[in-house]
Structure 1
Amino acid sequence: MPSITFTQPDGTAQRLEVEQETTLMRAAVSNGIDGIVGECGGQAMCATCHVYIRPEYADALPELGADEDEMLDCTAAERTERSRLGCQISTGASLPEIIVDIPAGQV
């Protein structure tokens, strides 16, 4: 079963086991992870699921799409080279585990 670990700005982490093809946003919202809201329901239209991807997982992610790229310019916290929208990243065979950091400006 895939796992997602959400790390808060204070360093506390919560590891979730999720079903295949679960998005980071859906896992966070369903489990009450602070700092992830998912206002648009996963349509890459609100940036309330902004996370920082740990570098060791970057190669397993899908390419940044135009809509996601545009929304990342609207995040509450600083956009960095590690920024992605959690609604655009799903667990699965190519991503059986991931650790992400929640930006301080969202908590």
Structure 2
Amino acid sequence: MIKLTFIEPSGSTREIDASIGQSLMQAATAAGVNGIAAECGGACMCATCHCLVLDAPDGSLPEMTDTERDVLEFTSDHVEERSRLTCQIPASAGMAGSVFRVIGS
């Protein structure tokens, strides 16, 4: 298990555990993180698991795919360079301690 921090839309901070290989969306919803609706169930279609990466070790996150970028640009009003869909990020040991701000839908 690795420790990750999510900052909910209310500003509350939640430290959660994620299993290696589990999507961050799955880990966050299982832990009850508010603001991640995950309406498409992780199919990279809805952007209701949108977060900003506030802090992550260099090289610990996979590169954003063209599909993820397209979904963010098409469905979200708040896209930044740090925007990611948590359904597209599998947990890895290298990202322990990373911090994400929930944007959701």
TM-score, scaled relative to structure 1 = 0.84
How far off is 1:102 after superposition?
A: 1.2
Q: Is the 8 A contact 2:61 2:89 kept in 1?
A: yes
Partners of 2:14 and 2:77 in 1: how far apart? Answer: 21
TM-score, scaled relative to structure 2 = 0.86
How far off is 1:18 after superposition?
A: 2.1
User: What RMSD over aligned residues (CA atoms) do the two structures have, in Å?
Assistant: 1.9
Give the aligned partner of residue 92 of structure 2. Answer: 92
Structure 2, gaps ≥5 residues long: none
Give the aligned partner of residue 59 of structure 1. Answer: 59
Give the aligned partner of residue 39 of structure 1. Answer: 39
Question: Which has the larger share of helix?
Answer: 1
How far off is 1:95 after superposition?
A: 2.1
Structure 1, gaps ≥5 residues long: none
Partners of 1:68 and 1:43 in 2: how far apart? Answer: 10
Percent of residue pairs identical: 36
The number of equivalent residue pairs is 105
Give the aligned partner of residue 17 of structure 2. Answer: 17
